[in-house]
Amino acid sequence: MVEQLVQARLSITRACRIAGLSRAAYYKRPASAFERDADVIEALNAIVSRHGRWGFWECFTRLRLDGRCWNKKRVHRVYCDMGLNLPRRCKKRLPDRPRQPLDLASEPNRCWALDFMRDALYCGRRFRTFNVIDEANREGLAIEVGTSIPSARLIRVLSRLVDCYGAPDAIRLDNGPELVSQTFTE
């Protein structure tokens, strides 16, 4: 606006007074963002080179502990401009499996249900159980108990059941992460 008033043949003093600016503001050219924030950029680069997985708040706290009293909005703007803002960690999603209706098994050994349960002993030590149930007569075919039940142990239990009862027509299990090991897909 001041430029337009100066072009309209007003003096710079009068144009600044009309626009509500001081003459010092008219003559002073704004510094580039890189020059203005060079010290913040340097400090953030030093922190990120040592601690690559730190987020904004850890970096900002470290700057404050180092005696740098920059505004958090300024530091956050520079942090984002540098491309340091990391995506939030979110829950790992399992692949979608097609939903199938729940049908009642009419005869034994047609459908088995597999599930894991967990509990803790009185002393606080945790353990898990792997349960295999025949859906027709609700018979517990196997219960495997342990603090850790790896996939090789599950395969041994299931192969022992297939040898004893024969292979079922279907196996039902929940959408948990337990039975998605590479051992099962091979």
- Interatomic CA distance for residues 76 and 56, integer angstroms: 7
Measured CA to CA, the distance from residue 159 to residue 153 in angstroms comes to 10
Element housing 2 (H / E): helix 2-7
Q: What angle do CA 129, 102, 119 make, to 5 degrees?
A: 15
User: In whole angstroms, what is the distance from residue 72 CA to residue 63 CA?
Assistant: 10
Question: Which pTM value belongs to this model?
Answer: 0.46
Is 186 strand, coil or helix?
coil
Torsion angles phi and psi, residue 90, rounded to 5: -125, 170
Average pLDDT across the chain, whole number: 85
Residue 5: predicted pLDDT: 61
Identify the pLDDT of residue 149: 87
pLDDT at residue number 4: 66
Q: How many Å apart are CA 118 and CA 128, to the nearest integer?
A: 4
DSSP state for residue 39 in the 8-state scheme: H
**How is residue 186 written in tokens?**
């091979």
Helix, strand, coil % over all residues of the chain, rounded to 5: 40, 15, 45
Closest CA to 149 of 122, 100, 114: 114
Residues of the chain with pLDDT under 70: 1-7, 175-176, 184-186
The pLDDT assigned to 110 comes to: 87
The tokens describing 69, both together, are: 């009293």
